[in-house]
Amino acid sequence: MRHSQLMTVFAFVFICLADESKLKVKPASKPVRLFTDEELRRYDGSEDGQPIYMAVKGVVFDVTSGKHFYGKGAPYNALVGKDSTRAVAKMSLNPEDLTHDTMGLTTEELDSLESVFTGTYKSKYPIVGYTHRRLLNEDGSPNEDFKPEDQPHFNIRNEL
């Protein structure tokens, strides 16, 4: 094989390899985890070794690092395993407040909710998913305003 033919073959192989690297497909990212009420209840701190999850405003946080606050028998255990938005807004542990429902909250309670949501939960605990209410409208249609990429500290964990 002559030198020019060898160079042509080498150039051809080099070009093919270069093009192949451009064609590599990025691995698919895992979807955002969507929790039903039943699924969220599994993470209520009652089982040792299981993560502890709590939802506020439809965002599910892993509060396991705060086990001394949220674990079994801890002072705020009533808040975990569910969306406790109303209870956080009212600073309440009353059973009737342990819900996602914010109807009838005062301006002060809504301001408090936003402050605790941003200053405590979003700044301190990783987001592991969202409740179905956050992603879906009441009629079951997708919530067009939801953008997971806009949620700070979103972290897809291995168990998803």
* Angle, alpha carbons 153-158-160 (nearest 5°): 85
Answer for the pair 127, 57: CB distance below 8 angstroms, yes or no.
Answer: no
The partner residues of 28 in beta bridges, in order of sequence, read none
**Residue 105 is part of which domain span?**
34-135
108 domain-assigned:
yes
152 domain-assigned:
no
Number of domains, the chain: 1
* From 33-47, 66-80, 109-123, 133-147, the region with the lowest mean pLDDT: 133-147
Determine the Cα–Cα distance for residues 39 and 107; give it in Å rounded to an integer: 31
Q: In the Cβ-directed half-sphere of 74, how many Cα atoms lie within 13 Å?
A: 18
Determine the Cα–Cα distance for residues 149 and 17; give it in Å rounded to an integer: 34
* Percent of the chain whose pLDDT exceeds 70: 67
Model confidence, pTM: 0.70
Q: For residue 94, what is the domain's CATH number?
A: 3.10.120.10
Q: Give residue-wise pLDDT tens across range 49-77.
A: 999 999 999 999 999 999 999 999 999 99
